[in-house]
Each structure stands twice: as C-alpha cells, then as structure tokens.
A and B are shown apart, each in its own frame.
Chain A
Amino acid sequence: MTSQKSYSLPSFMNSDSSLPWLLPLITMLIVFAIIPFFYNIYLSFHEFVPAKRALLFVGWDNWIRLFTDGVFWGSLKVSLYYTFMCLVIQLVLGMGIALLIDSDDPGFGIIRSLLTLTLVIPPAIAGMIFLIMEDANYGLIPWLLKSIGLIGPEDTILADPTLALWGVMIVDIWQWTPFMVLILVAGLRSLPSEPFESAVIDGARPFQVFRRLTLPMLHKVIAVAVLIRGIDLWRMVDYVFVLTSGGPGTATYTLSLYSWQRFTFVQWGYGATISLFSLIVILIVGNAFIHFAKVKW
C-alpha cells in the first residue's frame, strides 16, 4: 500500500475514519482466516471417497467417528498431558531461574542473553538436535542415563511407549523454559522495591515474601506467559513430527499430528474434523482464560 503515488492515497486516508487504516488487516483476516475456518467446517461434513475419486457429503459421519475413535481419544490425552505438564514444569523452573538471575551483579546480563538463544532455533531443528542426543545407540542422553543407572542397558527413550513422550517434552522444556524466565525476570524487575524493603524490616521470611508479595504482584505477567505458552504447547507439532512421528505405535500422537497424519492418508474430511476440534477447544479455553484471568491488551 505504500508503493502508491504519494498524492492519491493520503487524501483517501486523511479522514478520521479508521476504516481505510484497518481495511488491509480486515481483508487479510477475512480471506485467510475466516474463509478457511468455514471451509474447514465444510470439509468436516465431507470425505474423500477413493472408489468415486471425489469429495462427497457424509453428514455427521466424521464427527461420530471422532468420538468413537480410540486413537483420537489417545491423542487428546497426549495433547492435554503434554500441554499441562510442560506448562507446569516451565513455569516452576522458569520462576526459580528468574528469581536467581534477577540481579544487577555483573555477569547476569550475559546469562540472560545466553538464555534468549534457544528461542530463535527453528523447532524442527531443535528436534533434530535432540534426535541425535537421544539416539538409542550413540546418543548422549541415554548414555548418561545408563551410566547413572536410571534406565537399563537395553532401554531406549524414543522407542519406549512410556518414555517417548518425555523424550519429546524435554525438547520443549529446554527450548521454552527461557521464554518463561525472560518474561518473569522482566516482571520481577518492574516491581517497586518499597513493599519488599518494609517486609524485610518487619522480619518476613523469604518464602512468605514470595507468596504474599511477589506472586500477587506478578499475577498479570504470569497470566500472559501462561496464556501464550499454553496456546503454543497445544498447537505444537514440530517436535513430535521430527522425533517420533507419533510413535512408538500411537504413544506420542498429539491432536495436531494425528490430524496432519489423517490428512496425508487422504482422509481429508476426518483430518479437518480433528483440526477443527483442536481449534474449537483452544478458542474456548483461551478466551475463557483471558476473561477470568482479566488479561488485557
């Protein structure tokens, strides 16, 4: 829109109406977000029928299949477990590290800079890094765990139905705990110092100060961090794609991965139905969270 002749557009945009300013955004969101949403609903009532080589109307079949499909329920469980566990671990770990490095002493600035680095690694490549580190034969992590006796000599991580999901989660925790740390440090640094000084003078113990002062004063920052991290955890697909492709068996299928996998198996309608379910869940939960945690933009 800026490559226009500089005398024609300004007059168009000089009124105090916001429509011309918002029009490109609204157009973009309608064409590339609203239309696909309705297209997805359309797809969820259709399915590709190989015998007829066509996408045919199947009514509620996809939705009925969804609620009777064991793999779907399994992947829903995996998505919920993954989102919740990663969120809790990243928040607790992030808060601990943030409290530690919230300091003006020399050196902590560099530590904070080092922690930003994991955030810009493409998640697919972060998955690759851990794929070699968790390799069953020559991976660093199984080797370490075997040397200290946490897993048996024949055990693997990514091929083990109970450990595989943790093998994926460790990547997420590694890459995104710094996200929590940086946000919480910024929150801690913006707190006023007076209440803390008077609490210390009154003889409050550190844990009391943290519970009664720090946490309540940080609640807005924590809510924002949890919201954004929660959304991204729910949508995550890169790590499982790279590390396990959902295996062993269906042990690490998340909703997004299962939906993608059905799609590549030419079950277009069913894949769309799973993705739509995942979308509806996050829209409801996300907006409810914004409402109840009183997050404001």
Chain B
Amino acid sequence: MHLFILRRLNGKDLNKVFKQVLGWLIAAIFFFPIYFWITVSIKKDKDIFALPPKLFNFEVSFSAYEEVFGISRFLYVEDMGAVRPGGGDFYMMPNLVDSIIIALGSTGLAMLISILAAYSLSRIPIRGQQHFMGWILSTRMMPPVAVAIPMFFIYKNIGLMDTHLGIIIIHALMNLPLAVLLMKSFFDDIPKDIDEAALLDGATRFFVFWRLIVPLAIGGIAATAVLCFIFSWTEFIFVLMLTQTGLKTIPVVSTSFVTSTGTAWDNMAALGTAAIIPAFIFILLVQRHLVRGLTLGSVKQ
C-alpha cells in the first residue's frame, strides 16, 4: 500500500498533492479568524483569555447567545441585576430587527430604481451615455464621510435623522452605482432581438420590460439584490454618523461592547457570529455571479 502511494506520488502527481496541501493551508489561514471568533462566542471568560489559546479544548457555553437574543430574560429573571462588563444590557434583538428593516428597505429601493435605469441604459442609448455611466461610477468613489457630513445637516433639517427611512435612503444611494452597473451587464446579456421582435408585434415598451426581460433576468436580479443586502448589512460609517440614540445597526452597536469597565468579548462575538452567518449563506447562494458583482459587472465568470 505504502509503495503504491509512493509510486503514484512521483513527478506530476507530487506537484498536484503539493498544490492541494498548499491550497487547503491558505484556505485554513483565511478561515482561522472566523473560526476563532465563533469559539470566542461559546467560550467562558477564563478560556477567552487563555494563552496558549484554547482552540478546541474549551468549555462550551451558550450564555452569550442567550443574553444577546434575550432568551436569558425569560430563563434567569433573578440575574437581571448582575454586574457585567460595561454594566450594560446585551439584549440585541431590536438592533437585529433594525438591521433587517434597513437592509431589506434599502435593497428594495435600490433595486426598484436601478432595474428601470439599467434596462433603459441597456436598450435605449442616450446621448453622452459614456459620461452618464462615468458619473454613476464617480458616485461609487465618494468617501462615505464626505457624504455623511453634509447629510447630517440636511437630515437634521428635514427630520430624517435617527430614522429608518433616512438610513434606507442613504444605503440605497450607496448601492445604486453597483446595482445600476451590475443590472445593466445582466440586461446586456439578454439578446436585444427579443425586445425588437416583441415591439414589432405591437407590444408596449413596459410590457416588454416587465413581462419578457425581467423574468429572463431574474437570476441577475437576485444576485444584485443579495449584494445590495450584504453591503447595507455591513455598512458602518453612515449609520454611525446619521443616527444618534434610537437606531443602531449590528456593526455599529457591536462597537459599543468595548467600554471603560471592560469588553464583553463573548457577547460581542455572539452578535458578530449571528450577523455573519446569514451573510455566509447568502453569498454562497449567489457565488456564480459573485465576481461580476464585485467588479460592478465588468468581469464575467
């Protein structure tokens, strides 16, 4: 058996095995911090701070999740007064709900605007189309701070400060360049003959768009929506600057676990893990279109 393996490992085969090993090693290095973070969420304090780090041999405890999701509120009512690092409340369900509302709302808004615009950019050329696309792309370059500072004053004046609607609009704006350019690339993939044949048969533009093209592009629409959702879900600086007390999404609220009396690492990790797992599932679902999405539609897989 041994000899057989050795014989197969010569020359090209050895090269292949080496590539496999190196490939998995690299994947392991990139996955390690995620694994480590998940273990922090189910460790007890003494194991979190252990050196050398305990990667496998730690006591498992789900109390951090119970606190974050508010299960402990029902289970251990008598512990409510206990002093914890930060002295605070780790009940995060309202923030999860805020995050979901904002991500869904901004995705819906961005998709609605971008599908209409992308269809038109793909099918009805306009004068100065290149400049228009360049303008959209330039919007993608704006540093969030440069938008958020003036937005802070505008929102204060029109009463959108600290509201779901305000954050939904700004996240939709942030995702518009991605959504428009990506949807245009998906529409460009659909032959224009379909439109022209239907228009010759007397169908209206909107009918062609809504009944023929949108159903054909549904895979691309789903992939674009998932990316918009993820970018809104992970966004930090707009929420930080355009909310004051009421409304905080997950990335922003998780920084509040660091306080002068200590850091509640297990709770922070539990919330972080809860926030990244849905994103993992989503991204694996649209993996086929991921590269096209990350390059705003310009590199196709």
Residues of A within 8 A of B (CB): 1-2, 9-11, 13-18, 21-22, 24-25, 28-29, 32-33, 35-37, 39-40, 43, 97, 100-101, 103, 105, 107-108, 110-111, 113-126, 128-133, 137-138, 140, 143, 174, 177-179, 182-183, 185-187, 189-190, 221, 224-225, 228, 231, 234-235, 237-238, 241-242, 255-256, 259-260, 263, 268, 271-272, 275-276, 278-279, 282-283, 286-287, 290, 295-297
Task: Name the contact of B53 in the complex, choosing from A107, A140, A186 (C-beta under 8 A).
Answer: A140
Residues of A near B176 (CB, < 8 A) are 25, 28-29
CA distance A125 to B113 in the complex (A): 30
Residues in A neighbouring B205, C-beta threshold 8 A: 13-16
User: Which one, B120, B258, B299, contacts A183 given CB within 8 A?
Assistant: B299
Docked-complex contact B143 and A234, CB < 8 angstroms: yes
18 A-B pairs within 8 Å (CB atoms) are namely A13-B205, A33-B142, A39-B150, A97-B26, A116-B283, A120-B234, A122-B250, A123-B251, A124-B236, A125-B254, A128-B37, A128-B255, A128-B268, A140-B36, A186-B300, A235-B142, A237-B144, A297-B296
Q: Which residues of B contact A121 (CB under 8 A)?
A: 34, 234, 276, 279
Which residues of B have CB within 8 Å of A132?
A: 40, 48, 265, 269
Residue of B nearest to A223 (CB): B298
A253–B279 Cα gap in the complex (Å)? 30
Asked if B137 CB lies within 8 Å of chain A CBs, one says yes
**Chief secondary structure at chain A's binding surface:** helix
Q: What residue in chain A is nearest B126 (Cβ atoms)?
A: A18
Q: Are B236 and A117 in contact (CB under 8 A)?
A: no
Q: Do the beta carbons of A297 and B236 come within 8 Å of each other?
A: no
Closest partner residue, chain A, to B116 (CB atom): A21
Is there an interface contact between B31 and A117, defined as CB atoms closer than 8 Å?
yes
Interface size on B, residues (CB 8 A): 100
Whether B284 and A116, one on each chain, are in contact in the complex, defined by CB atoms closer than 8 angstroms, is yes
Cβ of A40 and Cβ of B149 under 8 Å apart?
Answer: yes
Rounded to whole Å, the gap between the CB of A154 and the closest CB of chain B is 15
Q: Please name 17 further chain A to chain B contacts, defined as beta carbons within 8 Å, in addition to the given A29-B136, A297-B297, sorted by A numbering.
A: A1-B112, A22-B120, A25-B136, A33-B139, A35-B154, A120-B279, A124-B234, A124-B254, A128-B272, A129-B36, A129-B37, A183-B294, A186-B300, A235-B145, A241-B236, A263-B152, A286-B138
Q: Is the CB–CB distance between A10 and B116 below 8 Å? A: no
Residues of A within 8 A of B124 (CB): 16-18, 21
- Determine whether B44 belongs to the interface, using a CB cutoff of 8 Å to chain A: no
Contact (A32, B145) CB under 8 Å given A120-B234, A143-B53, A241-B236: no
Q: Is the CB of B114 within 8 A of A25?
A: yes
Q: Please state if B23 and A278 are interface contacts (CB–CB under 8 Å).
A: no
Q: Are A120 and B255 within 8 A (Cβ)?
A: no
Tell me if B20 is interfacial: C-beta within 8 Å of chain A: yes
- Structural contact, B120 and A115, CB atoms closer than 8 A: no
B295–A43 contact, CB under 8 A? no
Q: Which of B92-125 contact A (CB under 8 A)?
A: 112-114, 116-117, 119-121, 124
Taking the complex as formed, is B170 at the interface, i.e. its CB lies under 8 A from any CB of chain A? yes
Q: B133, B296, B301: which contacts A189 (Cβ < 8 A)?
A: B301
A24-B117, A119-B283 as given contacts; A129 in contact with B27, CB under 8 Å:
no
Give the docked Cα–Cα distance between A147 and B8 (Å).
39
Q: Across the interface, which residues of B come within 8 angstroms of A101, CB to CB?
A: 23, 26
In the complex, are the beta carbons of B234 and A122 less than 8 A apart? yes
Q: CA separation between A14 and B120, bound complex, in Å? A: 12
| Contacting pair A295 B26 (CB below 8 A) | no
Measured in the bound complex, the distance between the Cα atoms of B292 and A297 in whole Å is 12
Return the contact of A295 from the options B50, B121, B298 (Cβ within 8 A): B298
A12 to B120 alpha-carbon distance, docked (Å): 14
Q: Most chain-A CB neighbours within 10 Å: which of B135, B265, B290?
A: B290
Closest to B253 in A: A124
Q: Give min CB distance, A209 to chain B, whole Å.
A: 16
**Do A286 and B139 form a contact, CB below 8 Å, given A121-B34, A138-B49, A297-B297?**
no
Contact between chains at B206 and A14 (CB < 8 Å): yes
Measured in the bound complex, the distance between the Cα atoms of B16 and A108 in whole Å is 11
